Amino acid sequence: MVSRRQFLGTVPISSVAVSAIGLQQSAQSQGTSSDPTDARGLLASPPVVQNPREDGFGVSVAVRGLATAWVEYGLAADDLRFTSVASDHGLIRADDRALHVRIEHHEPLPTDRPIYYRVLVQPLHYVNAYSLQRGEPDATRTYALRLPSGAKKRIRLVSINDTHENLETIRVLHGEIEKLRPDALIWNGDSCNDFDASDSPEQILLNPAQDANLAWAGTRPLLFSNGNHDVRGQRAREVIKSFAGCPESTELPYNQALRLGPLALITLDTGEDKPDSHPVFAGTAAYEPYRARQATWLKRVLDRPEIKQAPLKVVACHIPLRGLDGQNDGTTLEGYASYCGFGAKLWLPVLKQAGVHAILSGHMHRDRLDAASEEMPVLQFVGGGPRPGQATLTIVDAVQEDAEQRLEIRIVNLQGDVLHRHQWS
């Protein structure tokens, strides 16, 4: 049962200068003002829910100017009685591009009914250290979020990959995701072509459809699995502002281990598609020790009771871990990886021993299903590419009925045609 107390984080409500009366929805806001305290059009994306946990979740939004943010939430659309404020070491978080607020409720949140929330942002202008100006807050509409749970009998995940800023594909994907109504969405890497100086990472990540009304992760959580293109360009280090790392680890921000109904879902970060010593990186790559740390983490989480005892197990990572005959494994200076040889060596034996059923990946821009073999019983589903004729959705349905469990994974195109399917029962 959710407490009826108001959770205010570390600051009094007066310090965020918020009133629930007369706040305007930003989806219809037009233009900006030269007044640094004018909040019109300050919100620059729909909300993106991330990192669901039993007692909380995170929400990110893009902004067009320096601002602070908070989330109001509750169990009824007209009673958002709880407030969570983003702060770091006592200082309220502020940014001019993207803001992330983590809701930590300190007791379990309901999963059998919606949690209603909205994000509010307030402009901040520094005249000097002792003269700060604040404007009126700007607010998203109120969203009804459903959190997935380990207690559910049925769970549906949808994984998309390699969208590469293709607006036509992204908008169609949004519609298909809404039809499928998944409990969680996986964005399995390569959201962009790169993050160069002229790019806006927060827009590519938080507003991929370029429409504040298309919020594919406003009513369900999104799990982000880094792709090799997501780590390229001088602004790639800003991704963490939009896609906040998992709350348990700053070292392994994109590694998740979640129990969702009968399903255990694990995400891994395959990193770049070439060795760290490749001259193209100019000494800026350290993915090999990063993958080794993930191997240690993977062994540990697979031994956690709720993960170990899950009857069904699936892993998501961008670059495939299994390759076809003759394909490049990315461990030499020649060419680039069609599959992640470094990850395969470190992770596949662990996944096989743990009884993982399937790997979801992308990277190749061509869908396929790699069947199980006696040597490697872990199937691999590889999603398609960025153009509408290549794009796919990978749908995971896990069901527990009495003492029986059933897992079905299928890859479909944008018309809903089934391209590949496998069922375990």
* Cα separation, 59 vs 43, whole angstroms: 13
Q: Which of 345, 337, 419, 421 is nearest to 379 (CA)?
A: 421
User: How far apart are the C-alpha atoms of 92 and 227, rounded to whole Å?
Assistant: 31
Query: How far apart are alpha carbons 32 and 42 in whole angstroms?
Result: 7
Given this model, what pLDDT does residue 5 score?
34
Cα–Cα separations (whole angstroms), residue 208 to 52, 169, 267 = 21, 10, 22
Measured over the CA atoms of residue 339, residue 343, residue 344 and residue 348, the dihedral's sign is negative
- Segment 251-265 mean pLDDT: 96
CB 246 within 8 A of CB 254: yes
- CA–CA distance from 355 to each of 271, 314, 315, 377 (Å)? 24, 10, 11, 8
Any idea which residue has 């507003």 for tokens?
A: 207
Query: What domains sit in the chain, N to C, each tagged with a CATH number?
Result: 13-145 (2.60.40), 154-424 (3.60.21.10)
Angstrom distance (rounded) from CA 302 to CA 256 = 11
Give the pLDDT score at 394.
98
pTM of the predicted protein model: 0.90
Per-residue pLDDT at 280: 97
For the stretch 98-122, pLDDT in tens is 999 999 998 889 888 999 999 999 9
> How is residue 281 written in tokens?
């990186």
Instruction: Tell me the two tokens of residue 28.
Output: 């219809």
User: Given a cut of 50, is residue 232 above it in pLDDT?
Assistant: yes
Least confident among 6-15, 30-39, 70-79, 354-363: 6-15
Mean pLDDT of 384-391: 98
Q: What is the pLDDT of residue 38?
A: 65
**Interacting residues of 362 by C-beta distance below 8 A, sequence separation 6+:** 161, 162, 188, 189, 190, 227, 318, 319, 382, 383, 384
Judge whether residue 1 has pLDDT over 90: no
Predicted confidence (pLDDT) per residue in 161-190, tens digit: 999 999 999 999 999 999 999 999 999 999
The arithmetic mean of pLDDT across residues 34-38, rounded, is 63
pLDDT tens-digit map of 372-387: 999 999 999 999 999 9
Residue 402 has pLDDT above 60, yes or no: yes
Distance CA 95, CA 42 (A): 12
